Amino acid sequence: MPFCLMWANENWTRRWDGMEGEVLISQDYLADDDERLLSDFNRHFKDKRYIRIQGRPLLMIYRPRLIPDTARVIARWRSIFAKKFNEDPIIIMSQSFDDYNPASSGMDGAIEFPPHKLTKYVPLVNSEAKILDDTYSGQIYSYDDIAKYSTEEPRPDFPLIKTVVPSWDNDARRQGTGLVIQGSTPQKYEAWLTTLVEQAQQHTFFDEAFVCVNAWNEWCEGAYLEPDLHFGSAYLNATARAATGLTRDLSLPKILLVGHDAFPSGAQHLLLNIGRTLRSAFNIEVEYLLLQGGAMESEYASVAPLTVLRQASEIPATLRNFREKGFTAAVANTTASGRATKFLAEMGFRTISLVHELPRILHEKNLEDVARMAIGSAQTSCLPPNRRDGLRSADAGDRPLVLPARDQEAATPASSRRSTADARFGGKHDVLSAADRHARDILQILLVKDPRQFVHQGNGAKAHLGEELGGASARRGVGDCGGKPLLAKVPQGRGDFGRLPENGERRHGSVFGLHGAALQQ
């Protein structure tokens, strides 16, 4: 891998925070040390992997201002490099600690080192954050603000390498006084990096396009691309797409997430976290549409753009507006939000209806007609079973139905049967786990080119909605599957949704312990 050096010319301190407390080894600047230092630099210059621009090795200095009489020292170095080592390095500085212009130090250019410099020109957002430590006195900035300033900042009159940071939080090193850049997601990072890559083509660095990322694995400062348990490889994948010009797969749908209100309850939290997972882990553009408001509005708005209706009559016009904005798919969460399903279908949205309510609740809340309308209109429906025994379908015939896993074998025609050992009936999952699985299943359904009906049904659902389920299945052409596998597999682990399932692959999906299967063509 190509590399170059940045000399971190600071004292070695116990806290490693750039300050001067508890110095373990001091950094001295003695003229007698110059040749030994430059000889060590030159040892690396000789490596065939060392980055050279126009034949010149690239050398960076972290804090040139700490070098006494910097311009004179750099000039002396250039003479030694030329006479002793026959080298003419490009020497640049990092823009840090309020030192931004390389001219005064006799250097050839600069490289950004965020959060340095960028945070100087954007406002603090401490007042908007939920701070649990009442002694916290650090600085909190918005990732959106940082990225916006970086991409819109006027170009200087000297060569500059722009730098993006995946995220930043160094409170681990500065307990209670750290600097935090809040709100990063792989999608936001990719958008920022993509813009810098495009700008680098126009504003070259010594006739070459350079962009830097800070950093690969600065775990103590929350700045890393290295995979983690939460995002998996999403930041790495975002980097690859931005660097290669494949930032967004335009075939991925923009998904409208429709909820009935923002009351702080289970279904509302599930929808909130489905949106969060689709954005952060799968790089999918989403917006929320709530038919009524509530206490969770600010939480929804912190994840994705939010629209709250004042009355039901606004549904058609609002959906037309989303259609004009390029939204092509929708998820109607709960039966109560199913009132919008008919309009979504009529306007051409690929719609998934999530019906969490059990038959008794549908009856008590007078939602049975709405559920029938949702099932009849939605391209895909997901219903809960009444009990874990699942369903014994008497009328499946030659038409495959997607059933709870333990009933799959009994209800599937012999010609279409496959082992369901991988698909097991699970127990309860917390909201985040359920949202993660829901998000994966939503993408599984929407990315299939010839989607089929996706019905998760039990005895109670069939008793109340049997005709609608049968009619919806017939309209969606479930009977045309012709022996193709009923269960599809989504790649394991977090990160970007890498590919569609291939024939023969299987997976089980779970939503609060309710399992179903996605039909694929």
Where in the chain are the domains? 1-113, 122-247, 254-516
* pTM for the predicted model, two decimal places: 0.55
Q: At residue 436, what are phi and psi to the nearest 5 degrees?
A: -60, -45
Give the per-residue pLDDT at 16: 59
Q: Residues in the chain, how many?
A: 521
- Residue 506 clears pLDDT 70, i.e. is over it: no
Kindly give the pairing relationship between strand 211-213 and strand 160-164. parallel
**pLDDT-wise least confident of 48-52, 93-97, 275-279, 370-374:** 370-374
Q: What distance lies between CA 81 and its chain's CA centroid?
A: 45
**pLDDT-wise least confident of 4-13, 194-203, 214-223, 280-289:** 280-289
Asked if residue 41 lies in contact with residue 35, where contact means CB atoms within 8 angstroms, the answer is no
Tokens of 297: 């509005």
Q: Which residues pair with 290 in a beta bridge?
A: 259, 308
pLDDT tens across 265-310, in order? 888 999 999 999 888 777 788 999 999 999 999 999 999 999 999 9
Q: What distance lies between CA 216 and its chain's CA centroid?
A: 17
Give the fold, CATH level 3, of 254-516: Rossmann fold (3.40.50)
Tokens of 349: 């949205």
Task: Name 257's Cβ contacts closer than 8 Å, sequence gap at least 6.
Answer: 271, 274, 275, 286, 287, 288, 289, 304, 330, 331, 333
Report DSSP state, residue 109.
Answer: E
Tokens of 459: 């005895």
Residue linked to tokens 């977090």: 494
